[in-house]
Amino acid sequence: MKFCSACGSGEVALRIPDGDHRERYVCARCGTVHYKNPLIVCGIVPVYEDRVLLCRRGIEPRFGKWTLPAGFMENGEAVEEGAQRELHEEAKATVTLGPLLTMLSVPYISQVHVMFLGTMSEPVFATTPESTEIMLCDEANVPWGEIAFRTVKTTLEHYFACRRAGAYTLKCATIA
């Protein structure tokens, strides 16, 4: 960080603010502490009948790999709204939102991924600039070797395990 977003000063430096225990960017002029906190990625496991909707990524990172519709939460929106927005942006689909299925910490990239279960009433979806291909697939047809992110693989594995058990539980884990 080179400039304070509060006062515009160029006198911003890393230091431990009074009462804190971590280095933060602090403005020498106005004293504003600039926190850099993890980003939240929110998404949905969209299900129609016994099949899950997967999107082939049309953007980086992991262009061409398969993923669940998900993305960064925006300021001013609830996590549920962000998940629904991402589903529409990536697949032009809608769901009835169900329970939170996974909450996965990814500390090495300072992110937290939260994925909801969602039920599609009909198989209506379309490609977008973010997704070059969309498919509905059962567990046997998931392209496991082409999944874009470990959080997506973990979420899919948890979803299928819950479905087999007949009960959906929340999985909280850390992806190292």
One digit per residue, the tens of pLDDT, for the chain of length 176 reads 899 999 999 999 999 999 999 999 999 999 999 999 999 999 999 999 999 999 999 999 999 999 999 999 999 999 999 999 999 999 999 999 999 999 999 999 999 999 999 999 999 999 999 999 999 999 999 999 999 999 999 999 999 999 999 999 999 999 99
Could you give the residue range(s) of every CATH 2.20.70.10 domain in the chain?
1-36
CB within 8 Å of 49: residues ≥ 6 apart: none
**Residue that has been written with the tokens 């990524």 in this structure:** 57
Could you give the residue range(s) of every CATH 3.90.79.10 domain in the chain?
39-174
The CATH class of 39-174 is alpha beta
- Alpha-carbon span 122 to 111, nearest angstrom: 32
**pLDDT of amino acid 169:** 97
pTM value is 0.92
The CATH class of 1-36 is mainly beta
Q: Kind and range of the H or E element at 164?
A: helix 150-165
From start to end of the chain, where are the E strands? 12-15, 24-27, 33-34, 39-48, 51-57, 66-67, 70-72, 96-106, 111-119, 131-137, 171-174
b/e burial code for range 59-97 (CB count within 10 A of at least 16 → b): eeeeeebbbbbbbebeeeeebeebbbbbbeebbebbbeb
